[in-house]
Structure formats: C-alpha cells, structure tokens
Amino acid sequence: MGIQVKPGKILINNEWTESLSGKRFDVINPATEEKLTDCAEGDKKDIERAVLAARRAFESGAWKKMSARERGRILNRAAQLLEKHRHEIAELETLNNGKPISETLHVDLPLAIETFEYYSGLADKIHGETIPVNGPFLNYTLREPAGVVGQIIPWNFPLLMAAWKLGPALATGCTVVLKPAEQTPLSALRLGELLIEAGLPAGVLNIVTGFGPTAGAALAQHMDVDKVAFTGSTGVGKMVMKMASETNLKRVSLELGGKAPNIIFADSDLDAAVNGALRGIFFNQGEVCCAGSRLFVEKSVHDEFLSKLKTKAEKLVVGNPLDPKTQMGAQVSEEQFKKILSYVEQGKKEGAKVITGGTPAQNKGYFIKPTVLEGVTNQMTVAREEIFGPVVCALSFTNTEDLIHQANDTIYGLSAGIWTRDIGKAHRFAKEVKAGTVWINCYNQFDAASPFGGFKQSGFGRELGEHALELYTQVKSVWVSLD
C-alpha cells in the first residue's frame, strides 16, 4: 500500500491533455476529507474535441479496419493488465471512493476483469442471420456498431461501471467518449492508460473529466453522438433522455435508481436471510442502486429477525477503508453524507424508529453507522425515495397478496430479493415482482454473462450478457434479387 496519486488529465486521441479552459477541480478522499489530487475540468469545448476524435476513429481509423477477433484480443489484454495492476487500482479506487479495500480487491476488480474477458470472447461472435422471405430473394441482416457513443458513469462503482459500459461498446466496434463522475474520476483514467497499453487505437476511447451540467450535458446533447448510455439517478436520467430527444434523437439506455423490496418469509433460513439482508443494504455503504432498502418481514418472525439484524449490524467494522478488516467505509462525499442523515431525520419525523445507527460513525470522514429503521410504512418518504446509503427500512406483512402490491408500489423496478424454503412460492413471487433482477435466497449476485437493468423508472436497456450488445449495435436488412 502507499501508491502515488497523480493529477488527472483528459484523454483525447490517445493523448493526455489539459482542458482548453485550463480549469482543474479537486478530488477528495472521503475517509479523510482531504484533497487527494486534482483533475482537468473539461467542458463543452473538450467534449467537442473528444467527439471529433471518436468520429474520425469510427469512420476512417484503425478501429474500423480492425477485425473483430483483434478487437477481442485487445479487450483480453486489457483484462490481463487489470489483473496485473489489481492491487494498485483497488487502492486507488478505495482512496477515491471510500469503499473498503476488501470490496475493491475482491469484488470490483474481479468483476471488471471478468467483464473485459467476457466481451473479448464475444467480439467475433456478433453476427447477422439469413431470413427465408417470399419471392426470389436472398435476405440477410447485418449487425453493425451504433457509432460514436457517449457514456456517463456514476461514482458508486467507478471502475466497474466503466467496464460494464466499455466492454460491450468496444467489442461491437463503437468508439467512445466516457465522462466519469467528478467525485471519482481516478480509476477510469487509469483504465484509459491500460487500454492504450493493450493496443487500443487513437480516438477509440476518449475520457473527459468534468461536471454533469457542463461536460455531461454537452455529451448528451451533442449532434454527432449516435448513442448515449447513462447510469445514475432517475432525475438526471430523465434530463439525459430529454437532451438526447431535443437534438439528434440519439439512442438512449438508462440504468437508474431503485428501491428494492427484500422479502423475508417466515419459512426462510432466518440466519441466512439476516446475512443476505446485511449484504443487501450495507455492501458498498448502501451506495448501490439495487440495494435491498425496503425489508419486508413476515410478522410472525419480524421481532426475531430484526433482533438478529440489529446485533449483526452493530458488529460491522466501520472505519479506515484501507484496513482489510473494515466492512463498511466512508460515503463518497460530504453532500451524500448529509443527504443520508437528513433522510434518517425525515423518517423519525414521520414515525419510523431507529433501532440502531442513524448517526456519524467517526469524528472525521464521511462515515455513517449501519442504520435500521422499523415501524416504517410504504408511504413514508424513507420508503418512497432512494436514500443511497446504509439505511434499511423494515416493514411487516401478513397477507401475501397485499405483499405483492406493496412490493410493487414504487416508481422503481430494478431488483428484488426473496427468502423462503418454498421454491414454488419463490418462483411465483419472482414472476409477480416488477423488477429486472430477482434474487432468491441470495442477494447482490452478479456475473458478466447475466443481464442487469430495470423496469419502470429504474430505466431501460440491459447491461452485461449478450443483451448489452443490443445497446451498441443496429440491424441492417439487405435484400438481394436472385432473378
């Protein structure tokens, strides 16, 4: 441990440059509240430069002429380089984001590596089809890259979200302008270095650090961007979609917020369910879009379950993210820290009871104790809005028909959890819950091969798996007369 964190620049056409304005912004270590480094503050003019580089690389550069198999080899080399530098990048991610080193090293990095490996193998397997049409014609389809893609990623999983976006986009032959979150730009910049080292041609990946209202908005509005992919809050996602529709009607995919129901039936393995509930809400300090933040517990086991949950929550080690024993680190920023605590206060005003946590965990740094609220109803603010922190809202149920209504009574539909020994009941509920991912007797399981995305206002389009290729390709139908 003890890496040197260098100042960040903008990547355009495989060259590291300052922003045209010369402005820079500070990057803060959330565990210490101290400046970590600073980065170039890109804006609309820098986005213009980046999009131009991406367009040239797409239309006439080496990327267009490269075979799909060679694209796959570059992605595989990127995976190997991530593996080689995994300890360095894990520490960089922990310093910048505040999450425990145990998570960056054993969750974020392996999943990012797996994503590049997976799409390296798919690169030369993207193909069209022949269709038996009427008449003397040969009809076939081509699946072609969408073009220049703008990708805007969030601060909760900076490296992993970059991998989720870049893997399929690069595999399909698209070129990219990536805008990392201003809070956490460092791992994306390091990934850019590794992709260049892996052999990515100039202009294929361009990275512009900066702020949403300037750099992000310029990317979403740009007339020469063919597709924009955004992960973040539902409110900002709506703005991105509006911007895209008001310019060139570029294609949009959105992975947005969530308010997942995590349902505990009385016939479940309660100890396993408690551990699953802990993982569902306190993993990554609760800064997870699919967090199991609404905990529905069957009334007959409600008190026993919450007692076990409270005991285990209070034993979680909250502190220095670089300590391998730490289980919960710091929230990403002062803004997020204050927002989470304000939600706890709002819950108390509306009648919820804090049975553990709800206060800062350290004198310095943006640490919050694992928090459990009970006596919550589905109409309270804490049950309606995404808190995005280590706060779980416990609700009791008796009627299973009403449970489905309550579980689905939300604007979101990203994920859900079901805990029961009755597998038939589990499958019935999995079918009834309106969510893009349903975990049965587990929580927060991911794999590069399995699609992830939302229903309702949790967005549309699917990350990961073969389904993600649909986001970055378009289908062309070709007719040939045989007469």
Dihedral angle, C-alpha 431, 293, 404, 374, nearest 10 °: 150
Q: What is the pLDDT of residue 213?
A: 97
Residue type (1 letter), 136: P
To the query of whether residue 255 is one of the catalytic residues in this protein, the response is yes
Catalytic residue, chosen from 39, 174, 289, 393, is 289
What's the order of all strands across the beta sheet hosting 353-356?
A: 353-356, 371-374, 391-397, 294-298, 261-264, 415-419, 437-440
Q: Please give the radius of gyration of the chain, using alpha carbons only, rounded to the nearest integer.
A: 23
- Our measurement of the distance from residue 238's CA atom to the centroid of its chain's CA atoms, rounded to an integer in Å, reads 17
Exposed/middle/buried for residue 144 (C-beta within 10 Å: 0-12, 13-18, 19+): middle
Is pTM beyond 0.95? Reply is yes
Q: What is the pLDDT of residue 64?
A: 87
To the query of whether residue 289 is one of the catalytic residues in this protein, the response is yes
Q: What is the pLDDT of residue 465?
A: 98
Q: Could you read off the pLDDT tens digit of each residue along the chain, which spans 483 residues?
A: 578 899 999 999 999 999 999 999 999 999 999 999 999 999 999 999 999 999 999 999 899 889 999 999 999 999 999 999 999 999 999 999 999 999 999 999 999 999 999 999 999 999 999 999 999 999 999 999 999 999 999 999 999 999 999 999 999 999 999 999 999 999 999 999 999 999 999 999 999 999 999 999 999 999 999 999 999 999 999 999 999 999 999 999 999 999 999 999 999 999 999 999 999 999 999 999 999 999 999 999 999 999 999 999 999 999 999 999 999 999 999 999 999 999 999 999 999 999 999 999 999 999 999 999 999 999 999 999 999 999 999 999 998 889 999 999 999 999 999 999 999 999 999 999 999 999 999 999 999 999 999 999 999 999 999 999 999 999 999 999 999
What's the order of all strands across the beta sheet hosting 205-207?
A: 15-17, 10-12, 205-207, 175-179, 148-152, 227-231, 251-255, 459-460
Catalytic residue, chosen from 255, 374, 463, 470, is 255
Residue labelled with tokens 């590291």: 16
Q: Which residues of 158-191 are buried (b: 16+ CB within 10 A; e: fewer)?
A: bbbbbbbbbbbbbbbbbbbbbbbbbbbbbbbbbb
Q: What are phi and psi of 479, to 5 degrees?
A: -110, 135
Total count of residues recorded for the chain: 483
CA-CA distance, 291 to 415, in Å (whole number)? 8
Q: What is the pLDDT of residue 216?
A: 98
Residue 214: partners with Cβ closer than 8 Å, 6 or more residues away: 42, 43, 44
Query: Which of these, 413, 137, 70, 476, lies nearest to 261 by C-alpha position?
Result: 413
Q: What is the pLDDT of residue 61?
A: 83
Q: What is the pLDDT of residue 1?
A: 56
